[in-house]
Structure 1
Amino acid sequence: MVKINLILILAVLASGLGLVHNAYESRRLFTERERAKAEGHRLAADAERLKAERHAQATNLRVEQVARERLGMRLISPAVVASGVAP
């Protein structure tokens, strides 16, 4: 009878340790999942912000402004086209 009681006590202890380990692992994985979700939301927000910035940079007015300021381009007139000589 003592052997059976000892075996049952060891089984209960092992089961308790397994339960504690599973609860700890569950909390750790939940925390990791929440961090990953937060990171995903942050990355999605960054992607939307970058998409909006790219759209703002690609407007016709912005392209024309960059062409004038950085590249020194200007609008062409009919007189330049007809003569074939740049002013």
Structure 2
Amino acid sequence: MTRLNFLLLAALVGSCMYMVKITYEGRQLFTALDRARTEERQHERDFKRLQAEREAQATSGRVEQVARERLSMRTATPAVTFYVDAAASEVRR
């Protein structure tokens, strides 16, 4: 009877140790999952912020401002517009 009790005690201790190990691993996995979800939400926020910045940079007013400041461009007016006459260009050939 003593051997049976000792064998049952060893099985009980072994199963308890296994249960503690499995519970610990489950908590680690849950923590990793929670971190991954938090990181996903952060990436979504960053993506939406970058999309908004891209849209703000692509407005016509912004494009015109950059063209004037960086490229030294100006709007087309009749004073700076040259028209090509198709008939005159054919005669020169």
TM over 0.5: yes
Larger radius of gyration: 2
Aligned length, in residue pairs? 84
Matches within 5 A, 1:1-87: 1-82=1-82
Unaligned stretches of 5+ residues in structure 1:
none
Percentage of matched positions with identical amino acids: 48
**1:29-74: CA deviation from partner (whole Å, max 9, x where unpaired):** 1111111111111110010000000000000100000000011011
| TM-fit CA distance, 1:82 | 2.6
User: TM-score if structure 1 supplies the norm length?
Assistant: 0.88
| TM-fit CA distance, 1:78 | 2.2
| TM-fit CA distance, 1:79 | 3.0
Deviation above 2 Å: which 4+ runs of structure 1?
78-84
Unaligned stretches of 5+ residues in structure 2:
85-93
Backbone CA RMSD of aligned residues: 1.4
